[in-house]
Amino acid sequence: MDNPLLNVKHLKKYFPVARGWRKEKTFVRAVDGVDFVIRQGETLGLVGESGCGKTTVGRLILKLIEPSDGKILFEGKDLAHLDKKGIRPLRRAFQIIFQDPFASLNPRMTVSEIVGRPMEIHGLVERSQRDEKVCQLLQSVGLMKAHLSRYPHEFSGGQRQRIGIARALATEPRLIVADEPTSALDVSVQAQILNLMKQLQRELGLTYLFISHNISVIRHISDRVAVMYLGKVVEMAQKKALFQSPVHPYTKALLAAVPSLDPKRKRVEVILEGDVPSPINPPSGCRFHTRCRYVLPKCLEEDPFFHQVEGDRWVACHLYSS
């Protein structure tokens, strides 16, 4: 693929768990061989059901947890193998917007401290100029100078998420991981935050990895979409292509479950049966075979390879292997 900002290769994260009275060691395979790229200035939407591993992918990219295997190439440098000292100069280049705007802001700090502290830590501003710079950032996210000395509890949910966005922008990052940034907000406020993120992307040339379980939100914000199931990416394509003609059986089922207001749209019933299997003991072969209506004999034995099938579309399914 062409010169991406971030290139994730065969990324894995296994969490050890002790089971049974003999404390036999097993692993939760939260992320089990994920590949994708994010190009400069685009938004890659990462979507899937709860527990599919999408949040773990975000935390791995930000180096909040260490990978079990694989590569995270950021502008060509492998973050996966950098120690704390090695990662320090790169820290300001990637930031996160958290899901919960209530829990992610320190209630004892003023807005000026919350947004200004990261700038000071990274040496981007002198203490004397901090409020002026914070003020500019607040205005860029729709807040005011009068908010500088206020505390998080004095704001609504939407305003708190704007403070979270201003804090993420404080270090002038090149990549922002947004982990379900609108799911704790009222529906009317969700659209405002999504539109603000798009506007900031246009103005500042930001690159986003946008993580969500909500297909409609992913459709609104993304340029390309990667669909995750049980620790793996099963399909990745340009947004329009993915929503108009999904090819992986799981993507088809996921999109068919979204209600449509269009009376002309023919609703194709693709019902996902059964629960998501346990990531401690995932099914053999294709992990989706226990719920797939197109299952082939080889799906039970062979794990399908994630490969390019046409243009910018990648898929992991035996129906599309040559």
Positions touching ligand SF4 (CB under 6 A) are 249, 286, 288-289, 292, 294-296, 299, 304, 317-319
| Alpha helix positions (H), the chain | 54-61, 84-87, 111-121, 130-140, 157-169, 187-204, 215-221, 239-244, 249-256
- Ramachandran bin of 257, using left for φ above 0, alpha for ψ from -120 to 50, beta for the remaining angles: alpha
Cβ of residue 60: shortest distance to ligand SF4, in angstroms?
25
Task: For 13-26, give the DSSP string.
Answer: EEEEEEETTTTEEE
Cβ of residue 321: shortest distance to ligand SF4, in angstroms?
8
**Is the CB of 73 or the CB of 319 nearer to ligand SF4?**
319
**Is the CB of 278 or the CB of 321 nearer to ligand SF4?**
321
Cβ of residue 278: shortest distance to ligand SF4, in angstroms?
17
Cβ of residue 89: shortest distance to ligand SF4, in angstroms?
42
Residue 302 contacts residue 285 (beta carbons within 8 Å):
yes
**Is the CB of 155 or the CB of 250 nearer to ligand SF4?**
250
Residue 99 contacts residue 184 (beta carbons within 8 Å):
yes
Cβ of residue 55: shortest distance to ligand SF4, in angstroms?
23
Residue 274 contacts residue 47 (beta carbons within 8 Å):
no
Residue 39 contacts residue 205 (beta carbons within 8 Å):
no
End-to-end CA distance of the chain: 21
Phi, psi (rounded to 5 degrees) for 162: -65, -40
Cβ of residue 227: shortest distance to ligand SF4, in angstroms?
11
Cβ of residue 296: shortest distance to ligand SF4, in angstroms?
5
Residue 60 token pair = 């791995």
**β-strand partners of 286:** none
**Is the CB of 139 or the CB of 321 nearer to ligand SF4?**
321
**Is the CB of 160 or the CB of 318 nearer to ligand SF4?**
318
**Is the CB of 217 or the CB of 253 nearer to ligand SF4?**
253
Q: CA–CA distance from 312 to each of 175, 194, 239, 241 (Å)?
A: 21, 25, 10, 9
**Is the CB of 74 or the CB of 250 nearer to ligand SF4?**
250
